[in-house]
Amino acid sequence: MITAKNLSKSFGNIRAVDNVNFFINKGEVVALLGPNGAGKSTLMRLLTGFLTPDCGETVICGHNVAEERVEAARKIGYVPENAPLYQEMTVFDFLSFTATLRGLSRTDFRNNLAEVVSRLELDRVLGQRTETLSKGFRRRTAVAAAMLHKPKVLILDEPTEGLDPNQKEEMRAFIKEYGARNLVLVSTHIMEEVDAVASRVILLNRGKLVRDTSPEELEKISPRGGIAEAFRQLTGGI
């Protein structure tokens, strides 16, 4: 469902993503792991078509992102790093706006809205302006907007950043559940997240793909065991 072929992107002299290749199939929850500045967000922006690669290509559900961006975007639900929302809108207005951009009919919007609102427990903030929301609710609203059209591919950039432990737990349970039927790509630098949700790990360091493996295999890399140790070893940490 997601194919990345020889993807590269530079900003000036900095090679943010360097010749990355992978294929992700339906039913996988993939953790895009890497230290800060590894190129995780850039890679996600390349996959969603927000950034154009210097070379290489991305194919989402059979649609080449460079040639059929709009078609590919229909299949994707994407939550950027800081979960940006229009501050002057209420949660309901924002979700309604997203549904219109996504081309959802009113009936589909009403049905899907009820589902995502109950799943992400947004009912009590629906009428609240997004600028007044807590970080957790902001992120949940952004996730709800990304899910309204029931995408086959859900791409979440650091979805649990800034959430309290309860919210983190809820978000991880949701990711796991959604990923069982679809495809979820989650970027993170938190090891416990990989343990909690991922069926596969793609490890990036300085723009390069250094490992594409299962969490279990990743744990075996370090003699002392554990994903954190393997992460340190592969990314040059102390």
Partner 1 sequence: MTRQFSAVFRRDFAAFFKTYAAYVMLAVYLVLSMVATFYFGGYFQLNNAGLISFFRFQPEILALLVPALTMRSWADERRSGTIEFLLTQPVGYLLVVLAKFAAAWIFVLLMLILTTPLWLSTAVLAAVDNLNILSGYLGCLLAGGAFCALGCMVSSFNKNPVITYIMSVFVCWGLSSLDLSSVFGGAAAFSDELLIKITQALNFSKHLQDFFSGHPGTDSLIYFAVVIVLSLWLNLAAVEHKKG
Positions touching partner 1 (CB under 8 A) are 45, 48-52, 70-71, 73-74, 76, 78, 80-82, 84-89, 97-98, 100-103, 142, 145
Locate 70 and state its tokens.
Answer: 């709009």
Q: How far is the CB of 192 from partner 1 (least distance, A)?
A: 26
Residue pair 75/61 in contact by the 8 Å Cβ criterion: yes
**Considering beta carbons, is residue 23 or 86 the nearer one to partner 1?**
86
Q: How far is the CB of 73 from partner 1 (least distance, A)?
A: 4
Q: How far apart are alpha carbons 116 and 144 in whole angstroms?
A: 6
Q: Which residue has the tokens 């049905």?
A: 111
**Considering beta carbons, is residue 93 or 195 the nearer one to partner 1?**
93
Locate 32 and state its tokens.
Answer: 């895009």
Q: How far apart are alpha carbons 40 and 35 in whole angstroms?
A: 9
Residue pair 126/89 in contact by the 8 Å Cβ criterion: no
Strands 63-64 and 55-60: antiparallel
Q: How far is the CB of 215 from partner 1 (least distance, A)?
A: 28
Residue pair 47/2 in contact by the 8 Å Cβ criterion: yes
**Considering beta carbons, is residue 33 or 148 the nearer one to partner 1?**
148
Q: How far is the CB of 86 from partner 1 (least distance, A)?
A: 6
**Considering beta carbons, is residue 88 or 169 the nearer one to partner 1?**
88
**Considering beta carbons, is residue 19 or 82 the nearer one to partner 1?**
82
Let me know if 84 is exposed, middle or buried by CB neighbors in 10 A (0-12, 13-18, 19+). Answer: exposed
Q: How far is the CB of 16 from partner 1 (least distance, A)?
A: 10
